[in-house]
Structure 1
Amino acid sequence: MPYIDVMLVLLIIFMATAPLLNLGVDVNLPQSSAQSIKADVEPAIVSVGADGALSLTIDGARTPSSRDDVVQRVQAFVAAHPDAAVYVAGDARASYQTVYDVLSLLQTQAHVPRAGLMSMPGGASTQ
């Protein structure tokens, strides 16, 4: 039974050395006086309904809008707030093509530099 003796010795060695192992890497991060990014303006949200209908939310006011109206109002919003983001909130039942078309519309015609998609956190209720 010498194998059992060898295994016990190895077990004791590993148990003794395991706490000595450095599991992380020490990193000295550079210091900066920069402040964190803060959004001064709420983002504009273009909502795409299940039937493809659009509505635009700017400054908390949600209004049904046509594609041309969305382009004009978002252009004005981006001109007034160049650092603000514009998000597309597509209904889960809306076609992917419709949501993609709205995102493309924002980038090509409304010239939005920061357009993105919104989503619900996992496990959140959609009601």
Structure 2
Amino acid sequence: MRSDNRKKLKEALHKALSPLMREKGFKAHPRKDAYIREHEGRTDVFQLVFLEHNSGWRVRPHVGVRHERVENIFHQTSGFEQKYQKDTSTVGASVEAIVVGTNRAYEYILESLSQLDEVANELLNLYVEAAAPYFDR
């Protein structure tokens, strides 16, 4: 039963977050738990890492930037299977690693659908406050 609840929660979060991220120019990739946009010659990735927590999830946002030319050079010697090469970021980190001067853990608990709007809005606010400036740098 827990896995059914987790699946429903993850799907619902992506359904709620997708239109919000689309407004920022991102396309949803729910199977990758990521939102991706081509922007100024690079690929920006806002990814959600889902960690099991009780009957739901701990959701931890990550950011990544991919520069195709750098990745093409890197994968000449990386040893990554070709099917995984298109999904690597040139640079990236958890959001909490890029936010300087804070003790806040950027992790959101999602255990019921009643928390959905709050978690989706928190993730969007975090994108605006932390991820967007990271991409701009």
Q: TM-score, normalised by structure 2?
A: 0.24
Q: Highest relative contact order (Cα 8 Å, sep 6+), 1 or 2?
A: 2
The structure with more radius of gyration? 1
Greater fraction strand: 2
Using the size of structure 1 for normalisation, the TM-score is 0.25
Q: Greater share of helix residues, 1 or 2?
A: 2
